[in-house]
């Protein structure tokens, strides 16, 4: 499954260092390592992060963990991220979208 996480940060460079440091925790939680970061042209501190995970349960467990919440706080995430979850593959991408408000 694939998740798109949208949020704004205080400073992209600071956030990116924390994001890179937390890669091990994400992989241990089920992230495949396929990640993309997109920055808003008008506001480079507004981000969309695309991440592939082995399954939705592991994604939710990891993204809602105290460790990841602490990393996000230290990294300067301004507000609760908007998360959309997609299921499918490149050939047959079926949107089973679910916006998560739990964080």
Q: pLDDT tens, 11-44?
A: 999 999 999 999 988 999 999 999 999 999 999 9
Task: Kindly indicate the confidence band of residue 89, based on its pLDDT and cuts at 50, 70 and 90.
Answer: low
- With 50 as the cut, is the pLDDT of residue 70 above it? yes
CA-closest candidate to residue 47, choices 92, 78, 2, 23 = 78
Quickly name the fold that domain 2-100 has.
Alpha-Beta Plaits (3.30.70)
The enclosing H or E element of 89 equals none
């Amino acid at each position: 499954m694939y998740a798109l996480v949208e949020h704004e940060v205080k400073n992209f460079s600071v956030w990116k260092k924390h994001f890179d440091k937390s890669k091990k925790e994400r992989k241990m939680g089920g992230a495949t390592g396929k990640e993309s970061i997109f920055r808003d042209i008008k506001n480079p501190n507004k981000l969309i992060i695309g991440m592939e995970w082995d399954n939705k349960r592991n994604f939710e467990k990891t993204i809602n963990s105290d460790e990841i919440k602490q990393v996000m706080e230290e990294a300067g995430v301004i507000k609760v991220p908007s998360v959309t979850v997609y299921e499918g593959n490149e050939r047959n991408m079926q949107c089973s979208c679910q916006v998560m408000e739990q964080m």
